[in-house]
Amino acid sequence: MFAAIISRFGSYVGLVDAPNERSSHKTPTPRSGGIGIWLAFAFLVMFFIGSQLFALLAGIVGLIGLLADYSSVREMIRLVLQLFVSSVLVGLFVGIDLHNDIVLFAFCVIFITGTANFYNFMDGIDGIAGLAGFVGFGFMAFFSFYMASDHEIALFSTILSVGCLGFLTFNFPKAKVFMGDTGSIFLGFMFASFAIKLSLSTSMFLCVIMFMCMFYADALITIACRARRGENLIIAHRSHLYQYLSNELKIPHWKVSLAYTLAQSVFALMALVSYKMGIIWQIIVFVFFMVMFMVAYRCIKGIKSKRLLS
């Protein structure tokens, strides 16, 4: 419902994404369509599940994204706010004490903040963020319920997976509205928070991060490549592999989004199977995925240059 409202009236309140040299779209399109996922989740968690504290934290996370969508917020201010909310989530929701384990606390804060921004970076073409959320939170719900016996996280994840599916009706295969920072930053925060909450062991952590493996791999490798070239990592760009496929190679958005989702689903299933088989098999799956992605990244990024030479 909220996605439909934003798609109809977003332009009247300044929630419009105007195309520029870094965009993958051609026409002005309403953004902040993810507001429905955010508000529905916060409402259900507060009034029907009874977790007021987590609903409040989720509300703050979504509000940060909405402010970024509505007006230009300096990157450093956004980062400080995200680190603050991540610290509160780790301390109050996950239950890690800063004074008892400062290294683990810092890792969790950085992981949650990084995942929120990675999800935001990856929300650049039609359908990719909604499909990743539908699949990723779907696997998270399954793992929480059947393997971790955490029914609360299973319920939270199910709500978000269904919310992403509802949003996709307005964003895929052709976007009438974009998710915006409101949805993408919120989903990234929630996924990372659930992952940390569920990870009672290294084995569990390795399993759950594979549910969003394509986003992590594309974001991390792109950051590494940009850092090696000496680029300013704060400045917006369109260097991700999915953007290269869509913009330079002119592959339709829906095909790229489906390809990412298919790969994400296959390796998520492999992660679940290897989790039952033991940590050695998990490491093998993880390394195999990273090698395959890096090879694909390098080969695909070289396609255009080979065409130009021929």
Q: Is the pLDDT score of 186 beyond 70?
A: yes
Provide the 3-class DSSP secondary structure of residue 148.
coil
**Is residue 12 in a domain?**
yes
Average pLDDT of 156-166?
A: 95
**Is residue 26 in a domain?**
no
Assign 6 a pLDDT band (cuts: 50, 70, 90).
Answer: low
**Is residue 24 in a domain?**
no
What distance in Å separates the CA atoms of residue 114 and residue 188, rounded to the nearest whole number?
Answer: 8
Tell me the two tokens of residue 291.
């090698």
Assign 48 a pLDDT band (cuts: 50, 70, 90).
Answer: confident
| Number of structural domains found in the chain | 1
- Check residue 79 and give its pLDDT: 87
**Is residue 27 in a domain?**
no
**Is residue 183 in a domain?**
yes
What distance in Å separates the CA atoms of residue 218 and residue 206, rounded to the nearest whole number?
Answer: 17
**Is residue 173 in a domain?**
yes
- Check residue 8 and give its pLDDT: 52
Higher pLDDT, 97 or 83: 83
Q: Is the pLDDT score of 69 beyond 70?
A: yes
Provide the 3-class DSSP secondary structure of residue 16.
strand
Counting residues of the chain whose pLDDT is more than 70, the rounded percentage is 86
Q: Is the pLDDT score of 14 beyond 80?
A: no
- Check residue 98 and give its pLDDT: 72
**Is residue 84 in a domain?**
yes
Q: Which residues of 26-47 are buried (b: 16+ CB within 10 A; e: fewer)?
A: eeebbbbbbbbbbbbbbebbbe
Domain range spanning residue 290? Answer: 2-17+32-309
Higher pLDDT, 172 or 285: 285
**Is residue 25 in a domain?**
no
Higher pLDDT, 35 or 277: 277
Residue 16 β-bridge partners: 30
pLDDT digits over 91-114, tens only? 888 877 777 789 999 999 999 999
